[in-house]
Structure 1
Amino acid sequence: MTATQIEYSAHSRGYFKSIVVENKSVSVTKERNAATVKSTIDDAKWNEITTAFSKINLESLSSLKAPTDKRAYDGAAIGNLKITKDGKTYETAGFDNGFPPKEIEKLVNLLVDFAKE
């Protein structure tokens, strides 16, 4: 996964979060115009991320269906998963933050955990 970058972002009018994972490091930004906190990912967590990532079909990422629609009426921030691998970018359609499509749920939850620490 050395040539792979995984980014999860969630935003609404009053909410912003960005989590970028690449080369066993993670960068977390919790507010617009705030400093980004960068840290190293331990081997156990990295293995969990690579396992969850390996189960995702990148070609179908853009066609995944969101299980809920709270973002349509400001009931949830808009979540988005973007993966750049070998120079090609794959991206989901927007989904409710906290309610990702089941196909990417494990990976998204692992990424969101970094923002809780």
Structure 2
Amino acid sequence: MKNLKIIVPIVFLLMMNCAAQNNIKEFDKIVYEAQTRGSLVQLVLEGHKLSYKTYQKEGTKKVTKKQLEEAKSIVNELNLEEISTLKAPTEKRITDGALHAEFTIKIGDKEYVSSTFDAGNPPKELKKLEDFLYSLSDIKE
């Protein structure tokens, strides 16, 4: 009986730990789009491939397993339900002083779209994701 009092809580904790690990969000696609009159930047991370496009060039790059794991980690840090309500730190895009940018993150049948922000100056919660996608591409911010 004494051993049962010890074993039951340990088993319960192990089950909870396994359940918590299953909450990792496996995204299907991340799309970053930034545009204004005469300028366009599009970065799409899907599977093991990053596609990038501007008015000057476009291409694709292979994404390593390590890079994909890093992307998943960054997405898991986000509260996807709230990215549409994040406040942009600046509003230069209103006067064409910066590109209008936004993220779309697709997980299963659900798409999470961020609020619009100035490219290069996203809400702090999205900065790591923007920097990461640019680092994978051949495009400079």
Return the TM-score normalized by structure 1. 0.88
Q: Name whichever structure is richer in strand by fraction.
A: 1
Confirm or deny: 8 A CA contact 2:26 2:72 kept in the other structure: no
Structure 2 CA distance for partners of 1:2 and 1:103, relative to 1, 3 Å: closer
CA distance in 2, matches of 1:43, 1:116: 21
SS at match of 2:89: coil
**Which letter maps to 2:82?**
S
Within the candidate set 15, 21, 25, 2:49 is matched to 25
Residue of 29, 33, 46 corresponding to 1:5: 29
Alignment: residue pair count: 115
1:109 paired with 2:136, answer: no
Q: Which residue of 2 aligns with 1:90?
A: 112
Relative to its length, the structure with more helix (as a share) is: 2
Structure 2: how far apart are the matches of 1:88 and 1:108? 21
Which segments of 5 or more consecutive residues in structure 2 lack a partner in the other structure? 1-24
Deviations, residues 77-97 of structure 1 (Å, cap 9, x unaligned): 001101111111110121000
CA contact (8 A) 1:8 1:81 kept: yes
Gaps of 5+ in 1: none
CA contact (8 A) 1:56 1:103 kept: yes
Q: Which has the higher contact order (CA 8 A, sep 6+)?
A: 1
CA RMSD for the aligned pairs?
1.8
Q: Secondary structure at the match of 2:98?
A: coil
Mapped partners of 2:41, 2:63: distance in 1:
18
Separation in structure 2 between the aligned mates of residue 80 and residue 3 of structure 1, nearest angstrom:
17
Q: Quick one: percent identity of the two aligned structures?
A: 31
- Matched-pair contact (CA < 8 Å) for 1:17–1:28: yes
